Copies of this chain bind each other. A is one copy, B any other.
Amino acid sequence: MRLTNLLRTMVSAFLLLLSAGAFAQTGEDGYDLWLRYRPLEAGLQARYGRAATELVATGRSATVEAAAAELERGLSGLLGRPLPRTARIGKDGAILLGTPASTPAIAAMKLPLDRVGAEGFVIRSTRIGGRDVIVIAANQDIGLLYGAFRLLRLVQTGAAPEGLDIVDAPKAKLRLLNHWDNLDRTVERGYAGFSLWDWHKLPDYLDPRYTDYARANASIGINGTVLTNVNANAEVLTAPYLEKVKALAGVFRPYGIRVYLTARFSAPIEIGGLKTADPLDPAVRAWWRAKADEIYRTIPDFGGFLVKANSEGQPGPQDYKRNHADGANMLADAVKPHGGVVMWRAFVYAADNREDRAKQAYSEFKPLDGHFRDNVIVQVKNGAIDFQPREPFHPLFGAMPKTPLVMEFQITKEYLGFATHLAYLGTMWEEVLRADTGHGGTVARVVDGSLHHYPVSGLAGVANIGNDRNWTGSHFDQANWYAFGRLAWDPDASARTIAADWARMTFSNEDGFVRPTVDVMMASHQAVVDYMTPLGLHHLMATGHHYGPGPWVNDLGRPDWNPTYYHRADAQGIGFDRTRSGSDAVSQYAPSVARIFADPKRVPEDLLLWFHHLPWDHRMASGRSLWDELVLRYGRGVAEVRRMRATWESLRPFVDPRRHADVAAFLRIQEKEAIWWRDASVAYFRSINRLPLPPGAPEPAMSLDAYKALSFPHAPGNPS
């Protein structure tokens, strides 16, 4: 072929692809998450081009195949040329993927694999047979998959490809998503459309999206998923549904992800035909054993059960005058022969309990420490109320040395602006994990199991995933899914580092983009706290759907469902006294911590009204009165959102038009709703204290009655 002919052919092929590429612009809709694998800039491409020329993976499991396929997909995208798979190292720049068992060359190397356990990995730049090689080694195949994703992250974020020497393993054993997905595909507290699980078409149709879900989770180390809502439906335990669960488990297995289900405590009655669900009744115990046997026959690596019992109307052992340990242990005995676990939620507050709701989980569970089977894990929300914009860490952390505690974070933003508010939760979770329990270590040391030498450890995140094209309802909410996985892998990881990695992989590696974007993310959670619930206020949202402000609500069936129960504002002051003069919830904390929380001068201002009822003219550190400070904080939150909008506007050159427009539209909504929160809250509290607004604070846009009259009967995520 003459050069000119070749050129002509190339030009036409180029133009053809250009047009195909132009058409594929709809691809930038967020579906690819942080696994976009778009071409690197030329300099990095050249550098990595030399370091990644071929792929050698000798293992044959589905997990090794997944790892190799991901490297091929990722590196060919990033480097702009195919990554050939070869049987042996043939040139400089080979990537060698293997375990000592599968790959003699790796067995022959002195790699510190004894430090990485079953799931960790080693990545090392070295020379084998005179060739420059990047080795990804692990003890088990799943470590290879995690190592492959780690190498891809390095390339994606522009790290230097030379001299790699990484030894890493997860600190927590269970790293789980909790889906609050119902069998009708509605998602409780879901703001990303509807459930991914298309139960009706399972097990016959396996949506390719299930595989992408598994890829995304594996890329951040998630190793289990609870498919169903904690407000559970027993039907998922029937044979036809177990076949569907089995099909999903088959998709997830190569990615190291086990499936778990929620167990409705009354299932023996509802689907078993028994008259009772009493955990000490032999027939009930036999039913659960048989059910567990059936499940494990169907899904041999089934993870276990997650249970919400005797909470918010769910059935439980207390219906039969048994305690939580009785209930949990019965289920634990059923799954124990199969290696399963029971995660028993500590989120309880009894209908007939007049104690401060913040105290009830501790009161019920602390006495049970030491009474649970060794395959029971108690799952504790980060705070004692319910995923509020900010809570002090839960007093159970550190108080249950004999019972493994799993942290439950809420990734979905039930109380943090649904999908449309940009609120990066990495900082909130970091704050909780780094909190000193006063029992000899931080919360992170509790949940990674090291403080009390728990036999099992873990973190669970209530998923924000739905069938919206971008998975999480908004592009920036992907960062929360991502950050949860990273923190579950390493509870000591830095929220800022995680944010930066995510921003680079998801949008752009350019510093001019990354720095301001990370700054926005790092400031975003505090902004939401400020415009929704500043200074330690909490539980002020509207009823049911929790969309928007409702600090005035005081007519619900139970005292502790009412916002007024939590803020206790009157003409004189505001706040919930949880010191000794009040509910004494502070005493559930270790003395060193309790002393700080109990002292209005030492407690962090962001938790002030969580623990203290104070007069409106209480003098704050700023010198301002509490009332003026409160109003100022509301305004500060709105101002921060305006700054976020301006910053995002300035980043337009770095972001594809579709996603830039999506985020910009949501920031407009966030500003509108931040103003709504501020104005409605200020209008309400002013009606209580009759005080003037501080100078410069804007008048609320509408009357208090107008805010009260707003109604949103179809707000999403509301269980009907």
Q: A residues near B, CB below 8 A?
A: 3-4, 6-7, 10-24, 26-27, 29, 31-32, 37-39, 73, 76-77, 79-82, 183-185, 193-194, 199-201, 204-206, 208-209, 235, 418-420, 467-469, 658, 662, 665-666, 668-669, 672, 712-716
9 tightest Cβ-Cβ pairs between the two chains A and B = A16-B80, A17-B17, A24-B24, A183-B714, A10-B10, A19-B76, A204-B669, A205-B665, A15-B81
Residues of B within 8 A of A420 (CB): 201, 204-205
10 contacts between A and B (CB under 8 A): A3-B4, A7-B7, A17-B17, A21-B24, A26-B32, A185-B716, A200-B418, A200-B712, A200-B714, A469-B469
Residues of B within 8 A of A14 (CB): 10, 13-14, 17
The residue from B23, B37, B80, B658 contacting A12, defined by CB atoms under 8 A apart: B80
The residue from B26, B77, B205 contacting A20, defined by CB atoms under 8 A apart: B77
The residue from B22, B713, B714, B716 contacting A76, defined by CB atoms under 8 A apart: B22
Determine how close the nearest CB of chain B comes to the CB of A184; give it in whole angstroms: 5
Tell me whether A21 and B19 are in contact in the complex, defined as CB-CB below 8 angstroms, given that A31-B26, A193-B194, A716-B200 are known contacts.
no
When the two chains form their complex, are residues B185 and A194 in contact, meaning their CB atoms are under 8 A apart? yes
The residue from B12, B183, B208, B665 contacting A206, defined by CB atoms under 8 A apart: B665
Residues of B within 8 A of A669 (CB): 201, 204-205
Q: Please, how many angstroms separate the alpha-carbon atoms of A76 and B14 in the complex? A: 13
When the two chains form their complex, are residues A39 and B10 in contact, meaning their CB atoms are under 8 A apart? no
Residues of B within 8 A of A79 (CB): 19
When the two chains form their complex, are residues B658 and A208 in contact, meaning their CB atoms are under 8 A apart? yes
Q: Please, how many angstroms separate the alpha-carbon atoms of A27 and B25 in the complex? A: 10
Q: Please, how many angstroms separate the alpha-carbon atoms of A80 and B468 in the complex? A: 31
Residues of B within 8 A of A39 (CB): 16, 19-20
Copies of this chain present: 2
Determine how close the nearest CB of chain B comes to the CB of A47; give it in whole angstroms: 15
Q: Please, how many angstroms separate the alpha-carbon atoms of A10 and B712 in the complex? A: 56
Q: Please, how many angstroms separate the alpha-carbon atoms of A543 and B208 in the complex? A: 32
Most chain B CB neighbours (cut-off 10 Å) among A17, A420, A672: A17
Residues of B within 8 A of A194 (CB): 185, 193-194, 467
When the two chains form their complex, are residues B17 and A204 in contact, meaning their CB atoms are under 8 A apart? no
When the two chains form their complex, are residues A20 and B19 in contact, meaning their CB atoms are under 8 A apart? no
* Given A193-B193, A200-B715, A467-B468, 8 other A-B residues pairs in contact with their CB atoms under 8 A: A17-B18, A17-B21, A19-B79, A20-B38, A23-B76, A27-B27, A200-B714, A205-B420
Determine how close the nearest CB of chain B comes to the CB of A69; give it in whole angstroms: 12
Residues of B within 8 A of A32 (CB): 26
Residues of B within 8 A of A419 (CB): 201
Determine how close the nearest CB of chain B comes to the CB of A297; give it in whole angstroms: 22
Residues of B within 8 A of A82 (CB): 15, 19
Determine how close the nearest CB of chain B comes to the CB of A658; give it in whole angstroms: 6
Residues of B within 8 A of A13 (CB): 14
Determine how close the nearest CB of chain B comes to the CB of A235; give it in whole angstroms: 7
Residues of B within 8 A of A3 (CB): 3-4, 7
Q: Which residue of B lies closest to A657 (CB)?
A: B208
When the two chains form their complex, are residues B469 and A73 in contact, meaning their CB atoms are under 8 A apart? no
Q: Please, how many angstroms separate the alpha-carbon atoms of A418 and B658 in the complex? A: 33
Residues of B within 8 A of A204 (CB): 420, 665, 668-669, 672
Residues of B within 8 A of A31 (CB): 26
Q: Please, how many angstroms separate the alpha-carbon atoms of A76 and B76 in the complex? A: 26
Q: Please, how many angstroms separate the alpha-carbon atoms of A235 and B714 in the complex? A: 10
Residues of B within 8 A of A209 (CB): 469
The residue from B77, B201, B468 contacting A19, defined by CB atoms under 8 A apart: B77
Residues of B within 8 A of A201 (CB): 419-420, 669
Q: Which residue of B lies closest to A11 (CB)?
A: B10
When the two chains form their complex, are residues A205 and B666 in contact, meaning their CB atoms are under 8 A apart? yes
Tell me whether A23 and B77 are in contact in the complex, defined as CB-CB below 8 angstroms, given that A208-B658, A668-B204 are known contacts.
yes
When the two chains form their complex, are residues A713 and B235 in contact, meaning their CB atoms are under 8 A apart? yes
Determine how close the nearest CB of chain B comes to the CB of A30; give it in whole angstroms: 11
Residues of B within 8 A of A26 (CB): 27, 31-32, 208
Most chain B CB neighbours (cut-off 10 Å) among A4, A18, A20, A420: A20
Determine how close the nearest CB of chain B comes to the CB of A193; give it in whole angstroms: 6
